[in-house]
Amino acid sequence: MKKYWFIIWISACMSVACGAQKKLSSNLNSDENAQTQAKNEKIDNQKDLKFENTKWILKTIDGKEIETLPKPAFIMFDADDRVSGFSGCNGFGGSYYLSGDILKLDNIITTQKGCFNNNPEKLFYAVLSRVDACTVIGNKLIFTQMSKEIATFEGVEE
């Protein structure tokens, strides 16, 4: 008789444990679904910016965040295949070629002001000479070299 009570007791415990696990799993799935939905809504609400006529503010170079400067470094592309911007110290301009996601910057010229050492200018110009492709996702512009991310920008409509 004790054997049967033991089996009934084990069955009841397993039943309660399974019910608790289902409830916990259901709650976890609800939390994950809510987080995924919130991310999707954020992406849906994020306007896809156009490559051209957007002011792209430099955010990272080689994965490292760029310190906020009094006047941030940026780049802009116009419909006439011209590129211009500000490196954090000097202005620059030149031409660009874009086909699909292939990007080539050419004939970049700059002003020649003296710059402070903590300025990202040298790194920024190095990125401009290395970039071989780019992608726009929402309000982000990503420069790559041989499929490796080398710089990111955040867009502001002009």
Q: Which helix (H) or strand (E) holds 122?
A: helix 121-130
Q: Are residues 109 and 138 in the same domain?
A: yes
Q: Are residues 109 and 71 in the same domain?
A: yes
Q: Are residues 122 and 61 in the same domain?
A: yes
Q: Are residues 19 and 36 in the same domain?
A: yes
Average pLDDT value for the chain: 80
Q: Are residues 89 and 129 in the same domain?
A: yes
| Domain count along the chain | 2
Q: Are residues 93 and 36 in the same domain?
A: no
Q: Are residues 60 and 116 in the same domain?
A: yes
Which residue segment(s) compose the domain that 5 sits in?
A: 1-45
pLDDT (tens digit per residue) in 43-53: 445 568 999 99
DSSP of 1-69: -HHHHHHHHHHHHHHHHHHHHHHHHHHHHHHHHHHHHHHHHHHHHSPPPPSTTEEEEEEEETTEEPPPP
Q: Are residues 79 and 140 in the same domain?
A: yes
pLDDT (tens digit per residue) in 26-83: 444 555 555 545 444 444 455 689 999 999 999 999 999 998 777 899 999 999 999 9
Q: Are residues 17 and 68 in the same domain?
A: no
| Percent of the chain's residues with pLDDT above 70 | 68
Q: What is the DSSP letter of 119?
A: -
Q: Are residues 4 and 26 in the same domain?
A: yes
The answer on pLDDT for 25 being more than 50 is no
Q: Supply the pLDDT for residue 44.
A: 47
pLDDT (tens digit per residue) in 100-144: 999 999 999 999 888 776 678 889 999 999 999 999 999 999 999
